[in-house]
Every structure is written in structure tokens, then in C-alpha cells.
Amino acid sequence: WYSPFSKKHVRAFKEMAIWSLPDILVIQLKRFLYESSSFGTRGGIANRREKVTSLVHFPIEGLNMKPFVSGPCEESEAIYDLYAVSNHMGGMGGGHYTAYALNSHNGKWYEFDDTRTQLVSAQDVVTPKAYVLFYCRRRVMEQQRKVREERLTEIEDDGDK
């Protein structure tokens, strides 16, 4: 890297740090590989582009982000649970998207594929097709669950009157 300060080429390292965590954490998996390299004696450039299809193991519950946070962070604030996955099938020139999502009312997972929706098991959502992962801070999910339960109780109480 050429340093504009020292006016010399220096060895540099790029670093990214997470200072604080959001309530909703979106993780995009790098599923497309782009490489440029020189080849041969003519000095031409070859571009290689391909779809990455390897399985990435990711937790459905209890993703602990605390080890990755540089700023102050309580352990309880760093725990996330998965609530949706966007999937990509196909290649570089095109493809098809589907999704898995957790129904917050009944706690069950569903697959969404165009006009078709079906119930799936939680283990079914971890596939090599996973492209974008959607996590919610566990504390936030628990608060939302309590609010829903309170609303249902109010509705039931109003119905009894």
C-alpha cells in the first residue's frame, strides 16, 4: 500500500472492528467468488467468477457475538437467535431465491418459495443455499413475546365481558 503520509510503499493490514451490537443483526455470506490474476508471458488478466456452494454451519439459537465486540458489552446483550434465512439457488448468471422464517406466534419454521409455503424443521434451515442470515437479539425477542402474550390476554379478557 502506498502511504500518502510517508510517500513510500508499506506493508499494511486492514482491520474491521465491531464496537456495539444492533438489535437486528444481518449477516450476508460471501457466496460469489471474484478473482483477477495475471497469466502467461503476455501479461493478460484472467477473471474467475464462480458461485461458492459450501455449507456454512450457523447456529439457530444462541449466537454469542461477545467475542467479536471491541466496546463494552454484557454477555446477555450479545446473544442472538435466528429468525429468517434468505437462500439462493443457481449460478452467477441467474437463480432463484427462497426463504425460511420463524413464525413468532407458534415458534415454528416455514419455507417460502414463490406461491408455496410449507412447515419445516429448525434443522432444515441450515443448508448450503443460505445467503443472508437474520438474527434478533434474544432479549428483544423475549420482550416481543411478552407483549404478544399480554395482548392475547387483553383480547381474551375483552371477549369474556
Q: CB-side exposure of 28: number of CA atoms within 13 Å?
A: 3
C-alpha 133/C-alpha 94 separation (Å) is 20
More confident site: 19 or 48: 19
More confident site: 13 or 21: 21
Q: What is the pLDDT of residue 43?
A: 58
Strand partners, 105: none
The CA–CA distances, whole Å, from 65 to 29, 72, 124, 126, 148 equal 16, 12, 23, 19, 27
The pTM (predicted TM-score) of the whole model is 0.79
pLDDT higher than 90, residue 153 = no
